[in-house]
Structure formats: structure tokens, C-alpha cells
Structure 1
Amino acid sequence: MTVEDAAPAYLLQPAFMADPEPLYARLHNAVPVTRARLRPGLSPWLVSGYEEARKVLSDPLFSVAPASTSRSVRDAIATGPAEEKTALLGRHLLSVDPPDHTRMRRLMSRALTARRMQALQEPIEDFADALLDQLAYREEFDLLSDYALPLAVEVICELIGIPAEDRPRFRACGVLVVRSELDDDASFEQATDEMIGCFTSLIASRRAKAEDDLVSALVAAHEDERLDEYELISLIYQLFFAGHESSAYLITNATLRLLRHDEERAVLRQNPGLIEPLVEEVLRVDGPVKVPTWRFPVQDVELGGVQLRAGEPVLVLLGAASHDPRRFPDPGRFDVHRVFQQHLAFGHGIHHCLGAAVARTEGRIGVTRLFRRFPELHLAVPPEDLRWRNNLMMRGVCELPVRSGTQR
């Protein structure tokens, strides 16, 4: 079986999510760019090399705009699961190129101030502690749905400015989004419609009375940046969608890593100050995002010794790029002391994740508070029994059953 044959079979299988390194090694032993047949009419180029990935993610020769590809490719993407076609939904930072992207990112950067993001640290700590207080009475719980996901939703709601009374609806929507499987577009669309309705009402409310939140900042800049109503709603929706799911899986993947590797957990217990490099190594080795949004060459281009034609779909396999032995010596080894990281878990170039600082803070606080409260936390099921999401874009478990160890 060739790499081209193996890649799509693994990309869409839970076995790949549970243990991606064999495919990474196979790709790195072959070529950094290869075809991956996902379904009829859709055979994107799969990029696994580090330098090749950086080029695709940052070079203006590669567009994120769906209009840059053929109608047949857009139709093939549209027939896939909801999370694959987010680039086709709305006009936001992940679906437009400059100059529209420059305009939108300038606006979002102005709203996502360092002060606003730094001010989230105390609320994140409070949210984590409140959730852990509730879990203290339970011997067993699902770390994803009972802790990581509600924490991530609370944080993104706090950042956006969603009122406390509306947050239960967003928590429910967040669960629907994360729980949506490949054949469950209805749940995804239900969550999307409900969130858009909430955002529309919130925008109207902030127009009437501004608050010190991100939506108010976006509404205030609405006229100056020539942002239309559709773009405004798309920006807020994309921030919620991208922000809560990846952060929840960062916390979950980091926790699972520590639960499965006692030596790494012991290192963190002896030196809690290593939580920051540990989160970075989790992002490199077990990052929550498998591939970012689609890319399309705007002209014929050579990449990794392969000729790509204009408009052909391209996917960057972020985990493989961050396991490239040409960049990371002994890439499969988890090492919190790696000096030169520069992984690609948050992307690269003009589409680098604007919320990376918030996600890192959530990961650091979420994991630290969890193990401080439950030092004897352990898996409630054998690792091989964990169910992994059958999802092209995200890497994570469907649930993570754990026991607190407080009542053993």
C-alpha cells in the first residue's frame, strides 16, 4: 500500500487519532507532499513537511478563499461533514484573503487587546475552581463534557461579552458542536442557527448600550472598518466556534497525556513551573487541530518536489509538520525541555490564531487547577477503550471518563 493509499484511510479513522505517529513516520519516510483521496471528487494534496507547511500557511500564493478553487471542488467540500466546510460558511478571518483579511484582522486585533486577554486570567481561575467544586462530590466524571468544555465555553463567553443568563444556551450549543459526528450535520446546523440568533440579539443590545467587551468593540469599529452585518456576525461566530472547541481539546489532550505517562506527571508534580513548556509540547505532539482550513494555490506552484496546479485543494497536517525530524530531533519523544519549539499548532503567517495567548492560558490554568484539586486523578477505563472522534479537522476523544481518586 502506498502512502497515498494509506493517508486518507487513516485521516478519517479513530485509530489515527489514537496513535497518529505511525502515519507521520510513514509520510516523513516518503515525501512531504502527497495526495489524499477523501471521497469522490475530492483528492486534496496533504502537506506533512514542516517547511512545506510553513510555506502553505504563509505564502500569498496559497489562498483560503473558496472562490479560488473550482465549483466542482467547492461542491465536493460542501457534501462533507459540517466541520470540513466551515470555510464555506460566512466571510471571516479563515475564509478571506487580503485586503479583506487585513481589514478584518486589524479590527479583531484592536478588539482583542492585550489588556482584555490578560484580564481573563482571574476569571479563568474562578471558572475552573467553580467547576472543580462541583466535581469534588463525584467519584467519576467525564473530563471533556464536565470540565474542559464548560470551562472553554465560559471563557469565550466572557471574552465575547455574552451575558451570564444566556451562557447555558451557549454551553448546550458548544456540546452540540463538539458532539457532532460525520453524519450529524443536523445537530451542527441546529447549534449554528441558535448561536447566530443569539449573536444577532447581542449585537443589537450592544448597539443600544455598549459594555467593556469584545462585541461592543467590534460594533464600535463597525462603521470605521466598513464591516457589514454579515461579516460582523461571521467574525463573532468564528471566534466562538474556533475558540471553545480547540481550547477544550487542548485541556483534555494534556490531561490524557499526563494520565497515561506517570513519569511526565511526576516531573510536573515536582516542578509546577514546567506547566508552560508542557503545554507547548502537548500542542506540538497532541495538538487539538489536525488540519486548518483549506488552502488553494492561486497559480501553478512547486512544493516539496511536487507540482501543484492552480485551484487544487491543499490540507496541512499540522501534527505531522510538528513531528518532522528535519526540524525536531527525535520528534516522537515528549520533552518539556525542548529549547526551540516553533510548532505549528496555532498556524503560521497572517492566519496565525489570534486567540493563541488565551488558549495557552486556559491550558495552563485548566490543567494546573485540575491536578492540584485531584492529585490522584486516573482514567476510569483502559486507554484502548477510549473513543476518538471521527473528524478531519479536530483530534480528540468523544469523552474522557476519569475517577477523582478522592474516595478510593
Structure 2
Amino acid sequence: MGAVSPRPRGLSDALGDRSGWVFALLRRFRPILSTGPFTVVTRSDDVRAVLGDHEHFTVAHYTPKMAEITGPFILGLDDTALYRYDHAALRAVMRRDDVPAIGDEVLAAARARVAAAGTGELDVVHDLADPVLDGIVASYLGAPGPDTATQLRWARNLFEHIFLNASNDAAIRARALADAAEMRPHVDGLIAARKALLATDTPVRDDVLTRLLQAKEQDGGLHDLAIRHNLIGLITGWIPTVSKAFAMVVEELLRRPEELAAAQRAARAGDQQLVASYVFEALRFRPQTWALLRVCAADRVLAAGTGRETVIRAGTRVLVATRSAMFDGSVVPDAGRFRPGRAWGDYLHFGHGLHTCFGLQINRVQLPALTMALLEGGDLVRAGNLRWDGPYPAGLRIRRAGRS
């Protein structure tokens, strides 16, 4: 395949870059803004109310897109029996006590990538985040792609159509359906190959795929097709979001020399918890998404009894501005200041309510681990601007100070 030209960024991406002053005005003057089929919710209390009310504000927009990609998986299911069953089945095999080992593996892989760059330039997307995340998906989920580039393309194009294609752009949909047609038989093949190994005495890796296949349906396990649906969903929700979040963290720190220097001192001291505090505060200023989409299932009054009370009509698509909520000074202390060590409740990086990110605990270790590996060496200097391909970072080059 020849080189593909980078795609332009959409309006929502551009707004995400420049939304600070826009949301500040909205929070003050029009905190609930209705514009045709969309309503934008900007204040923290209202954002949390919408995300916490899964009965009235649903993920129905995603459901048909997931169905044409592979089938239902938890990221696009409302609070149904199927959601509860699949969520429990996945939680049984993706265990909290796996998290420290995942963090260690990400840190080791990232350190190896940084070391391989030596004193030369390093692209934190192409050379670091993407291959490390592809590796952890392969080793922990048991779901490698044919190669890193293909797995990344699949995940990004599927994610863009399911979660970012609010206008149902035909070209975005066509790319996703073409990639899904490649990905489904690939994942089916992984499942079949692992089942064949499990039927013998051959030792197999204790990963998520093995655990899913060992769990019997009568004991709460998943059938093979449901395993495929959810593996595709996990891959799609994992790689694009974490890669972008990491690039956003690095970009924000590069724009803040004092904070970057402090974060590097923490990394060199081996204080990953302190590094994490810089990571998630940087991500507040430059999040990987500015809003989440919900669909109003039935007429619902939002902010009842306040001056901003609004009736959200059934069928309205609600843009829940999590970025704005994290800067709501009525709730978030000293909201405009970069302040590492904030209470975790100040953040909405991973959503809220029923659809809080399934990989929350993993993300709380893998993002700091990636950052730790990058920061613990010599002083970082930007070697190029952040480049984009549609909604995704395509590259961000850094080097060590004193090197050219």
C-alpha cells in the first residue's frame, strides 16, 4: 500500500483545541446550549447528572454502528441483561490484580523503546506509544494484529466511525466497514487457534483470551462470537484513546517548561505516583476528547430548580462536555491553575456513571508508565510540531537537550 495523505481534522477536533474560552463563556451565560438536534452541557453538576442517568441518556447512537462492525459489546450497550452479563464476564477475566504487572510490562517496553532511540530523535507516537500499546494488547488480551500498522489502522478507523462520526460521514463509515471485514476473520482465527491449543496438553499463555475460553457459558462465560465482539471492542477502545492521550500529555508538558522539568525530576527520582499527578493534570488541560455523546431516550428536565433548568427532548443528541466540567470553578478548586496532585474526583478523563472507562485502572498505570520511561532520561526538547491524521496524532518528535 502506498503512502496515505493525512486527513484534515474535523470541526469538533478544532473546537477541542480552542475550547477553553468558548466553554468559559458557555458555563457563565449558556451552560446548557440547545442547537437544533444537539444540546451541549458544560457545567460539572450537569455533566455528571447526564452521565450518571443512563436510563434517560443512553449510548443508543453507538449501537447500530457496533452491530455493523461486529455485534454488541459493552462500550455501546445500555443497562440491559446483555450488558450486565458481558460486563461481568469480562471483569472476571480482566482482574484488578493484573494491573501492577501490566504497568511493569508497559514501563519495561517503553524503556526499551526510549533506549533504542539513544541520543537521537524519538517520535512519541510512532516510535513509543503505538508499538508499546500494540504489544500490551497482544500479550494481555491475547489478540495481536497481523502487524502493528494493520492493528492500529483497524482500531483507529473503527473507533472513528463508532465514537466520533456523529454526522455519519459516508467515507468514515466505508473505511470502518472495510477494516471490520478484515478484522473479524482475523480475531475468529485467533479464537479458533487458541481453542485448538487448549484442547491439547500444550501450555498456553494466561491471558484474557485464554481465560475467556476456559470460562464455561453455564458459569457466566461467553460464547465464541461474543468473545470476538468484545475483543474487537476492547482493542478499538484501547489503542486509539491511550495513544492520543499520551501524545496530548507530552504536548502539554512541552508547552510548560517548568512543569516538564518538575515531572522529569520526579521520573528520575523513581516517583511514578508524582509523575502520574503531572500526567493527569496535563491531560485536564489537553484531554483526548472534549465531550461524550449521549441520546435522550425520553423527555428529561436537567438542572431542575435552577436558573438554567432545561427540558431535554426525546431524541436529542447531548454533547456532554467533560473538558468544560473539569474547568468549572464552582466545583473544581483553582480550576485555571496547573496543579498536580488534585483529588481524583476533579477529573473526568475516563467518564462517569455506567460507562466509566472499563480500563480505568489499567489507564491509571499505563499512561504514567509510558511517561515515566520518556521523562527519566535527559532534558526533553521539542524536535517538531504535533502532527495529525484526522482525529489522531500522527507524530510528535522530541530529542534530548544539547543534541541536534
TM-score (structure 1 length as normaliser): 0.80
The one-letter code of the counterpart of 1:173 is Q
Return the alpha-carbon distance in structure 2 between the equivalents of residues 260 and 242 of structure 1. Answer: 28
- Once the two structures are TM-superposed, the CA of residue 102 in structure 1 deviates from its matched residue by 1.1
Counterpart residue number, 2:342 = 338
Q: 2:115 aligns with which of 108, 112, 133?
A: 133
Q: 1:376 aligns with which of 356, 379, 392?
A: 379
CA distance in 2, matches of 1:289, 1:157: 25
Distance 1:265 1:159, change over 3 A: same
Q: CA deviation at 1:32?
A: 2.8
| Contact kept? 2:107, 2:372, Cα under 8 Å | no
Q: What's the offset of the Cα at 1:277?
A: 1.4
Match of 2:284 in 1: 284
Deviation at 1:145, TM superposition (A): 1.6
Q: Is the 8 A contact 1:14 1:387 kept in 2?
A: no
Q: Which residue of the partner structure matches residue 18 of structure 1?
A: 17
Where does residue 324 of structure 1 map in the other structure?
328
State the AA in 2 paired with 1:240: I
Q: Could you say if the C-alpha distance between residues 170 and 218 of structure 1 is closer, same or farther in structure 2, counting changes exceeding 3 Å? A: farther
Cα distance per residue 1:64-88 (max 9 Å; x no partner) = 353xx7xxxx9xx98xxxxxx5586
User: CA deviation digits over 1:30-62, x for unaligned, max 9?
Assistant: 23322346xxxxx22222221212122121323
Residue 169 in 1 paired to residue 147 in 2?
A: yes
SS of 1:323's equivalent in the other structure is: coil
Counterparts of 2:355 and 2:241 in 1: how far apart (Å)? 16
* Distance in 1 (alpha carbons) for counterparts of 2:236 and 2:112: 23
Equivalent residue for 1:111, pick from 73, 93, 98: 93
Q: Which residue of 2 aligns with 1:3?
A: none
Cα-to-partner distance string for 1:220-276 (whole Å, 9 max, x where unaligned): 335133745443212111111111111112221111111111110122233343212
**2: CA distance, partners of 1:209 / 1:150:** 27
In structure 2, the partner of 1:124 is 106
Question: How far apart, in 1, do the equivalents of 2:294 and 2:369 lie?
Answer: 33
Distance in structure 2 (CA, Å) of the matches to 1:347 and 1:359: 12
Give the aligned partner of residue 397 of structure 2: 401
Q: How does 1:8-407 map to 2 (within 5 A)?
A: 12-36=11-35, 43-66=37-60, 85=65, 89=69, 90-97=71-78, 98-136=80-118, 139-162=120-143, 166-167=144-145, 169-175=147-153, 177-178=155-156, 183-210=171-198, 211=204, 212-221=206-215, 223-224=217-218, 225=220, 227-272=222-267, 273=271, 274-292=274-292, 294-304=293-303, 305-339=309-343, 341-373=345-377, 375-381=378-384, 386-388=386-388, 390-391=390-391, 397-405=393-401, 407=403
Letter in 1 for 2:248: N
- The residue type equivalent to 1:116 in the other structure is D
Partners of 1:403 and 1:102 in 2: CA distance: 47
State whether residues 16 and 290 of structure 2, in contact with CA within 8 Å, keep that contact through their aligned partners in structure 1: no
Is residue 61–residue 298 contact of structure 1 (8 Å, CA) maintained in 2? Answer: yes
C-alpha distance in 2 between matches for 1:13 and 1:244: 21
Q: Deviations over 1:174-193 (max 9, x none)?
A: 14644798755454444333
Instruction: Provide the rounded CA distance (Å) in 2 between the counterparts of 1:88 and 1:22.
Output: 38
Q: CA deviation at 1:105?
A: 0.9
Aligned partners of 2:363 and 2:34: how far apart in 1? 32
In 1: Cα distance, 2:195 partner to 2:11 partner: 44
Aligned counterparts of 2:32 and 2:242: Cα–Cα separation in 1 = 29
In structure 2, how many angstroms separate the alpha carbons of the residues matched to 1:398 and 1:87?
A: 28
How far, CA to CA, are the matches of 1:184 and 1:60 in structure 2? Answer: 27
Name the residue aligned to 1:5.
Answer: none
Instruction: Give aligned pairs, total.
Output: 367
Residues in 2 aligned to 1:377 and 1:64: alpha-carbon distance in whole angstroms: 43
Q: Which runs of 5+ in 2 are unaligned?
A: 1-8, 161-168, 199-203, 304-308
Mapped partners of 1:222, 1:372: distance in 2: 45
Change (3 A) 1:379 1:185: farther
Secondary structure of the residue aligned to 2:319 is strand
Q: 1:301–1:185: structure 2 CA closer, same or farther, 3 Å change rule?
A: closer
CA apart distance, 1:116: 2.3
> For 1:284 and 1:222, how far apart are their aligned partners in 2?
42
* Residues 359-392 of structure 1: per-residue CA shift (max 9 Å, x gap): 121111111111223x2322223x5xx445654x
- Whether contact under 8 Å (2:157, 2:179) holds in the other structure is no
Amino acid aligned to 1:108: L
Letter in 2 for 1:120: I
| Structure-2 change in CA distance of 1:377 and 1:167 (3 Å) | farther
Q: Provide closer, same or farther for how the CA distance between residues 228 and 147 of structure 1 changes in structure 2, counting only shifts above 3 A.
A: same
Q: 2: distance between equivalents of 1:350 and 1:21?
A: 27
Identical aligned pairs, as a percentage? 23
Cα distance in structure 2, aligned partners of 1:155 and 1:173:
12
Tell me which amino acid in the other structure corresponds to 2:115.
D
> What secondary structure, in the 3-state scheme, does the structure 2 residue paired with 1:128 have?
helix
Query: TM-score with structure 2 length normalisation?
Result: 0.81
Contact map agreement 2:145 2:151 (CA 8 A) in 1? no
Quick check: 2:89–2:221 contact (8 Å CA) kept in 1? no
RMSD between superposed Cα atoms in Å: 2.9
CA contact (8 A) 1:91 1:230 kept: no
CA positional deviation for 1:119: 2.0
> Residues 350 and 387 of structure 1: is their aligned pair in 2 closer, same or farther, counting only changes over 3 Å?
same
Contact kept, 8 Å, 2:263 with 2:375, in 1: the verdict is no
* 1:158 to 1:331, Cα distance in 2 relative to 1, 3 A: same
